[in-house]
Amino acid sequence: MQSLEFLAQLARPADTKVVLLVLDGVGDVRTSEQPQTALDLATTPNLDALASGGSLGRLTPVLPGVTPGSGPGHLGLFGYDPTLPQVDIGRGVLEALGLDLQLGPDDLTARGNFATADANGNLTDRRAGRIPTSECRRLCAALSAAFSEVDGLSVAIHAGEGHRFVLVLSGHELSADLADTDPQALGVPPLEARAENAGGEETATRVGAVIERLNRVLVDEPAANRVLLRGFSKLPNLPQMGDIYRMRCGAFAGYPLYRGVASACGMEVVPCGKHFADLVDATTQSWDDFDFFFLHVKQTDSAGEDGDLVAKAEVLETVDRDLPRLLALGPDVVAITGDHSTPALMKAHSWHPIPLLVSGRLAFVDDSRAFNEQETIHGHLGDLKSHELMGMLLAHAGRLAKFGA
């Protein structure tokens, strides 16, 4: 956390407002198969004007070549170096945040699968034939109705998509150093809950008892008679953004995962709709309440994941249309970037550097004339790691004291 501590030392309050607009997965590729990126294809006069009057650059989310998930992608943008082990958000926690669950600091979470086993207890399907979400909900309701604590341990089970659920345990001092119970193979029984070190043994015993109770309730279920648990984890104990940066930080995100990550970093989550216009509405209403506004647009990533370049470009055009309303609020610094690239060609997240635009009174006006990947190569901001961005934003907002005399 060295760079965060460094910033914390220098951060000072100021009467300035910073907007960080994250266009999820905005970066794309230009190749012989896909000769234009979504930013190339989209008609975005407002973004281009902002680029002309500000600085461009690029962000590397983790390390060169490394493709991040949404967790590390956003943690980087918020200033946390995602390569540090203490910044890691576990799979169970991410899944829980994605379901909009409120986690306490001591809650232990795991991702669950409903699965099926034969009469000998050997797994026959690790995903229970990919049961529909409705069936998953029914099973979770049955389990919740059957019991909600085991030996003083509170047990909550929340349905996800298809065969997936999230288990949340609380009420004891619990360790997250537990191995997955999913053997990743058929014809063998699920693994027992095992501690990965001595400190986790009591928790392993407790989790073992919970699994037994869950399986007992499922014994006569035709669709699924076993649970498999993975990614045991607790909320990371992250330094909180308000303390580090000395700003009141608000998160405006229409999807739960991003609200959850923002909340884990200490931002206040503001209710809002799913589209950029909704985010601008909510930001407008909360303009006096915060100094830092994180706005998250999900649809660029979704279109990229679908491999739909035209849809991705259309999302950018809707953002462009409502951008003047956001700028009219008078933010001192506006940064527009992504948490990673999601090239439509790849239908997946990628490692490609993320376009970055910073606008503000003290942003160097470089020769950029449009906001797209090729232009950002030559931008004044150069190539930064994502977790270096917050320092730049604070600086442009007059919120960092001089270092040394």
Binding to a copy of itself, residues 320-339 (CB under 8 A): none
Find the shortest distance in angstroms from Cβ 248 to a copy of itself.
20
Residues 58-77 that bind a copy of itself (CB under 8 A): 58, 62-72
Which residue's CB is nearer to a copy of itself, number 150 or number 358? 358
Residues 1-20 that bind a copy of itself (CB under 8 A): 2-3, 6-7, 10
Torsion of CA 337, 271, 144, 166, to 10 degrees: 10
Find the shortest distance in angstroms from Cβ 381 to a copy of itself.
8
Q: Which stretch binds a copy of itself (CB under 8 A): 42-50, 191-199, 247-255, 372-380?
A: 372-380
Asked if 146 and 200 touch (Cβ cutoff 8 Å), the reply is no
For residue 179 the two structure tokens come to 């191995």
Which residue's CB is nearer to a copy of itself, number 83 or number 318? 83
C-alpha separations of 342 from 27, 364, 383, 402 in Å: 6, 28, 18, 37
Using CB under 8 A as the binding rule, whether residue 298 contacts a copy of itself is answered as no
- Give the max Cα distance, the chain: 75
Query: Binder to a copy of itself among 94, 166, 315, 336 (CB under 8 A)?
Result: 94
Q: Which stretch binds a copy of itself (CB under 8 A): 57-65, 135-143, 158-166, 300-308?
A: 57-65
Using CB under 8 A as the binding rule, whether residue 39 contacts a copy of itself is answered as no
Cα–Cα dist 201/195, whole Å? 5
Find the shortest distance in angstroms from Cβ 253 to a copy of itself.
17
Report, in angstroms and rounded to the nearest whole number, the Rg of the chain calculated over CA atoms.
23
Using CB under 8 A as the binding rule, whether residue 379 contacts a copy of itself is answered as yes
Return the axis-axis angle of helices 256-264 and 70-77, rounded to nearest 10°.
50
Which residue's CB is nearer to a copy of itself, number 334 or number 384? 384
Among 12, 10, 79, CA closest to 403: 10
Q: How many CB atoms lie within 10 A of CB 378?
A: 12
